[in-house]
Structure 1
Amino acid sequence: MSKSLKETKVMLKSKRDFKGSLKKALACWQLYVLLIPALIWLAVFAYYPMYGLIIAFKDFKPRVGIIDSPWAMPLFKHFQTFFSTSIAMTAIKNTVIISLESLVIAFPIPIVFALLLNQITRNGPRKAIQTISYAPYFMSNVVVVSIITVLFSANGLVNNLIRGAGGQEILFTSSADWFRILFIGSNIWQTMGFNAIIFIAALIGISPDYYEAAIIDGASRFQRILYIDIPLILPTIILMFILTVGNIMNVGYEKAFLMQNGTNTVVSELISTYVYKVGLKSAQYSFATAVGLFNALVNFAILLIANFISKKTSDISIF
């Protein structure tokens, strides 16, 4: 009898909670109407195309469509084809290395930039620096690689300066040793300002009362950064780090492909460039989808692991 009474109370409470939530939703129905276009876009462009992943397990023939294309035999044929090629492990290794190096080197730079920019109190210089730092983000990779070529080719500006100083020219653009340096360095220059936006927004949200109290206590600027800014934006840093780690296997093919040549392929052949050349240029769509699905699953697994570790150690997570 007591158990039945408890179950009844739980059911009544759930019913009241549901009615309360429904009442709140109806009170602001206009906001949900505004949300409809975004939900439609998400369904049409993000979720509906996912059914196309089945071609990773089919021998896709464009003339008959996805549904009528025959199933691959064996079912994981295209995955086996990828892992059986000699270039597959090289592409995976290069992708992981360049992603980890980018994570270690490039991830902290927007944070440092945001912290330093936050110390500029005059609006004029602050806005000018922000505008200059954002501008490279909107350049296409073709333009960025063209700038790299102008600066670092055999007859580029840097080599002309080296020769003018009596040194010997360095083959930056055709040397495997310099590919990752140029790739990561240009990425930092291109994305630093834009990636700092979210950290700048987090710093702006800090109450001025903290700074006033710290100044009264005699804290220097460095101490204010160390004991106020960094701790208060730490949740934002952790969340962005989790998202970055969860995207570790995705390195866009455009810049790597444009910087690639016969002498640096040993380090510049990434999963994305390999898929573009073998899967898309050769119209092997099932193969390209299989490799893309492998990439997505690995990224998802890494995201779950990073989120779990963050939740256990800092109680901060994205879900």
Structure 2
Amino acid sequence: MGPVVTSRISQIRRISCVLTILRTGDDDVAIKVLYCGICHSDLHTIKNEWKDTIYPCVPGHEIAGAVTEVGASVTRFKAGDRVGVGCMVNSCQSCDRCAGGFENLCPGIVWTYNSVDLDGTVTYGGYSSNVVVHERFVVRFPDAMPLDQGAPLLCAGITVYSPMRRHGLDAPGKHVGVAGLGGLGHVAVKLARAFGARVTVVSSSPAKRREALDRLGADAFVLSSDAYEMKVIYSSIFSDQTQARGSFIGSYICDGVGVVHAGCGGHHGRHHQHGVREHSTDPAVGIAEAQRQDGAGRHAREAPLI
């Protein structure tokens, strides 16, 4: 493949280079890239804002495409399958975390791009013609799902879907708050509505009100700069948590804003912080971490699977 790579070392400049695709190993799946979504971490990386970019850099970790070749040991895929690749392409595959399905917590995790694989080669992402990925890190798209719409689910989608499922929010009768109506927020609202939850969107932009209520189907919209609206929604969170079991059992805040909003989950609610601030020194946090604050004031980090 011959992608054009934009890099910034001392200044932004454009270079052209030809990168050679690795051969398909016994456990690998070769994929023709048809679509690749854009994540804000891609922008941070190409600008070297996390101070770890390996140039030339080819970003892209919301990859959707078709299988062109499989290795001799591959059993789950065949040529022609519609598949996707998220933010990981390898791990040690031998530690307890990998054995438990938490490869995203593996100390030897290999990111889809800007990472060094186990064989010492640098990984390149989905803004390219083809990728070669270990079978373990390839997922299959349902036949009815358009690939261009499915690609963002490999990052924004799974980041909000995983904690919702993990904490029992995939059933009617819950109250889900979505702070920030950006990429993650859009998907969070859609998933929460599909699960049958009551959804409140909290945003600093009054222009997002109509989009949240009319287009995405949220039940309520709160402007974060409006002290009265914030007081009302804060009171409703506590009210939800004190009602009898079987009605509203706690509230859940899905936070896609890159700042920490301590305490907004209430006494027994859950607050998940998704995303990372622009100048954070740990880019892995932005891709694979949500933060929960419970009523005892304990803080726990939970990494959604991708």
- TM tier relative to shorter chain: under 0.3
TM score, norm. by length of structure 2: 0.25
TM score, norm. by length of structure 1: 0.24
Of structures 1 and 2, the one with the larger relative CO (CA 8 A, separation 6+) is 1
Normalized per residue, the structure richer in strand is 2
Normalized per residue, the structure richer in helix is 1
Task: Answer with 1 or 2: which has the greater Rg.
Answer: 1
